[in-house]
Amino acid sequence: MDKTPFIRSRWFEDIPVGEFHVFGSYTFSEKEIVEFGKKYAPQVYHTDPDAALDTVYRGLIASGWHICAVWMRMMVDYMERFATGVQDGRRNGAGVGFENLEWLKPVRPGHTLTFTYEIIDKPDKVIREKWGVIRSRNEAFNQYGDLVFSFVIDILAERAPDV
């Protein structure tokens, strides 16, 4: 199996700006949309397929935060598949924050999103002595090729130890 190195297995210094990955695709089911909606965004357009028809959305749509959560799962699964080396998780960096997040189009039951990730910058910062910041632009496209979701996130990667 092809093992492409990824964030977890590389030091900050070894991760190049411009690197591009396709995490994969995910199809949202009605059941999952409703389950997430009931827990975290209880409005009829996220929880009730019939009542949702009578809203401005004309049907059930996924909570935007559900799309974010699925993005995270796609990234974690991608790392699991492609990371080599460190297994104890100690070098897993935390997210610092994100900006310019836009939910551009509704995601409905049966829609399939494809998630892409591009490293756009490595800001010159050292966090708690040993972490660097990897800035990426993340996008998701539906099955019609429409951009439905995008944001820029900063995630920590461990810097190589001083020799």
AA letter at 126: V
Distances (CA, A) of 88 to 14, 45, 80, 129, 151: 20, 41, 12, 20, 29
**Choices 13-21, 94-102, 117-125, 135-143 (CB under 8 A): range interacting with another protein:** 94-102
Interacting span for another protein (CB under 8 A) from 9-17, 85-93, 115-123, 136-144 = 85-93
Q: Which of left, alpha, beta for 31 (phi over 0: left; psi -120 to 50: alpha)?
A: alpha
3-state SS class at 135? strand
Cα separation, 82 vs 4, in Å, equals 5
By CB under 8 A, name the one of 64, 82, 114, 159 that touches another protein: 64
Count CA atoms closer than 13 A to 51's CA, side-chain side: 8
**CB nearer another protein, residue 1 or residue 94:** 94
93 binds another protein (CB under 8 A): yes
Query: Which residue stretch of 13-21, 97-105, 110-118, 135-143 sits at the interface with another protein (rule: CB under 8 A)?
Result: 97-105
* Tally of CA atoms within 13 A in the half-sphere of 27 that contains its CB: 3
Nearer to another protein, 21 or 37 (CB): 37
Q: Does residue 43 belong to the site contacting another protein (CB under 8 A)?
A: yes
In the bound complex, what is the minimum distance in angstroms from residue 72's beta carbon to another protein?
5
In the complex, least distance from residue 6 CB atom to another protein, rounded to whole angstroms: 13
Cβ partners under 8 Å of residue 143, min gap 6:
111, 112
> Which residues would be at the binding site for another protein (CB under 8 A)?
36, 39-43, 45, 55-57, 61, 63-66, 68-70, 72-73, 76, 88-90, 92-103, 128, 131, 151, 156
